[in-house]
Amino acid sequence: MKPKLIGFDLDGTIWTPDMYMLYGGAPFTVAGDGTKQLKDSRGDTVELLGISGTILHDLNYHEAWEGVRVAWVSKCDEPEWADECLRKFRSTGVDPKPLEKLAHTSHIYKGNKKDHFRRIQKEFPQLQFEDMVFYDNQMDNIRAVEGLGVACYYCPQGMTEKIWLDSLEHYAQRMSKK
Other beta carbons less than 10 A from residue 91's beta carbon:
25
Other beta carbons less than 10 A from residue 14's beta carbon:
27
Q: Give the pTM.
A: 0.95
- Give me the average pLDDT of each 10-residue run along the chain (178 residues): 96 96 94 90 96 93 94 93 95 87 91 94 96 97 97 97 96 89
Predicted confidence (pLDDT) per residue in 120-137, tens digit: 999 999 999 999 999 999
pLDDT for 89: 94
CA triple 53-131-174, angle to 5 deg: 95
